Structure 1
Amino acid sequence: MKNKIATPSATKKILREHNLNLKKSLGQNFLIDSNIIDIITAAAEIKGDEFIIEIGPGIGSLTQAVLEKLKSGNMLAVEKDAAMVEVLEDIFADQEKLALLNQDALKIKWEETAAKYNPENRKMKLIANLPYYVTTPIIMGVLESELELEQMVFMVQKEVGERICAGPETKKFGSLSVAVQYHMQPEIVHQVPASVFIPQPDVDSVIVSLTPYEKNIYQEEVINRKFFFQVVKSIFQQRRKTLRNSLSKSAVINLDRDLVTQALEDEGIGLKKRGEKLSISEMISISNRIYEMKENK
């Protein structure tokens, strides 16, 4: 297809010709502004020889733009809606660089899928215009997999993007901020108004880029990953409480108050400090200290 899909007229024509009824339950909103598409592909810094994974391609607005940039590389588009897959098969019938997978992104075993569709072991990047209702589990599912991604670029609800990128001592800093930043470095690339979608969502969006750390000190320093995230969850479940109270009265982990007090004193963290004011490195230090004290009791 030579004409750009990401225009109001082309999108409406495709929806009409394929008799598509948009499923609100799947969060289907289609981009109709090619400028936004260009910003996403520019943020992904596509060289042309990569393996690109796209989640939720819909009718292929972003897919089309990525394929135009791929020279020797290839692409996998993962789409849950079988009706959309039929549309994509029709529009991109002559595109040998594109593979389509009709599957729920929440249920994919990413390592196995990448091995199947990227046998040459090309550098991998992931792009997506994520449905708002499954944004967090999809992102975390990818990050917690063993995929070695060179970059992730996705569009999400503005509030979620701001939470992902938030730092300590801000209202939006929370468990999601820590969980994502534990794996990769996030950055908001662009603000996206609701008006660039058909149908228009109720909220604005942002484009977020995630890049790997040159050296991930977080993952290197954490002694026990499961325990660390239990500590993080405890901190933010009761974010207005002092760190000592949120950890010693947590429903997530059963911690002795005296042990918590001693650990905080050992780490030089004030007993009245709130957990939301800690940096990720400080959270790791207190988590490691408590874990070691528990293990040595």
Structure 2
Amino acid sequence: MNDLVRPSRVSELLRAYGLNPSKGLGQNFLVDRHALEKIVGAADVHDEDVCLEIGPGLGTLTRELAERARTVLAIEKDKKLTPVLAETLADYANIELQFSDALEVDYRKLLEPYSPPFKVVANLPYYVTTPLIMQLLETGIKWGKMVFLVQREVAERMTARPGTEACGSLSLAVQYYAQVKTIAVIPPNAFFPPPKVSSAVVLLEGRDKPGQHFGLVNEKLFFALIRAAFGQRRKTLLNALSAGLDVPKADIQRALAGCGIPESLRGETLGIESFVKIANQLT
């Protein structure tokens, strides 16, 4: 039984090592067995898997992954947790612990010594959620599954459909690379200390060669279009793209006409397929 899901055990550990959860590092340690099972169940970890974990904290999720996976590669930024993790992970020989900033890790190099399947399973600090998820998706590594525990608002943005208030550049970028769905909503009292907002478990299943999947010719232009369209949401699509792209307005007008997309629409109403069409017209 994983005793780290008990708040009393977490409190005891922190006192023993003279530590306090760091607000700056977004440390809210998971202390709920049900939530832990939701995360591990969504990842569907098997003994051939190599699991990447970002922010192991006290090792609660790390232990569960190590019980099931071939290898767990855990990236922790807070070196003050070194003695705690030495204690909580002492019984597991299949954990490789690295103290680094997850945003500065070369994940291709990290995984070179290992063979797939690769999975990412992480309770992400809120402050790095968006840049880190995009970094992992953009590596080109074929992740089997990616399971993240994130702020509920971020989960809603990641899964949002076109035309909804939550839909933005993050929605389309994530959905370009992966199929996304919310597995469970996790209340604040599942953490120690409890955050002010609810969280959610999100499952991403990566697309194999997303550019080919969507028939996209120029990926760089596609993402530039999305950034421009959502960078000025109040403007019409034509005006937003004209302001955000180094492309003549007349060329954008011709591209929209070629796609049968009205100039007066707003970017937030368009899905991935529409932006792919515009990008291909401009290429």
User: Counterpart of 1:13?
Assistant: 12
Distance in 2 (CA, whole Å) between partners of 1:236 and 1:85 is: 42
Cα–Cα, structure 1 residues 234 and 69, in superposed 2: closer, same or farther, change >3 Å?
A: same
Give the gaps of 5 or more residues in structure 2: none
Calculate the TM-score normalised by the size of structure 2: 0.95
- 1:131-146 counterparts in 2 under 5 A? 131-146=125-140
SS at match of 2:135: helix
Instruction: Return the match for 1:75 from 72, 90, 115.
Output: 72
Instruction: Provide, for residues 35-59 of structure 1, a one-character-per-residue CA deviation record: whole Å limited to 9, x for no partner.
Output: 1001100000112221111100000
**Residue 126 of structure 1 contacts residue 153 of structure 1 at CA under 8 Å; is this kept in 2?**
yes
Structure 2 residue 224 is the aligned partner of structure 1 residue 230: yes
Measure, in 2, the Cα distance between the counterparts of 1:286 and 1:123: 35
Secondary structure, counterpart of 1:231 in structure 2: helix
Q: Does 1:84 align with 2:81?
A: yes
SS in 2 for 1:208: strand
- The one-letter amino acid paired with 1:11 is V
The TM-score with structure 1 as length reference comes to: 0.91
Name the structure 1 match of 2:266.
274
Residue of structure 1 in register with 2:194 after alignment: 200
Unaligned 5+ residue runs, structure 1? 293-297
Q: CA deviation at 1:90?
A: 1.9
Paired position in structure 2 for 1:25: 24
Question: Could you say which residue in structure 2 is the equivalent of 1:112?
Answer: 109
The aligned counterpart of 2:63 is 64
CA RMSD across the alignment? 1.5
Output one character per residue of 1:229-286: Cα deviation in whole Å (capped at 9) or x when no partner. 1111010011222111111122xx2222221111111111112121111110110111
* Structure 1 residues 220 and 277: CA distance shift in structure 2, 3 A: closer
The equivalent residue for 1:243 is 237
The AA in structure 1 aligned to 2:250 is D
Segment drifting more, 12-21 vs 209-218 = 209-218
Aligned-pair distance for 1:220? 5.3
Deviations 1:73-118 (A, max 9, x none): 11111100111132112221231111100111000000000113x2
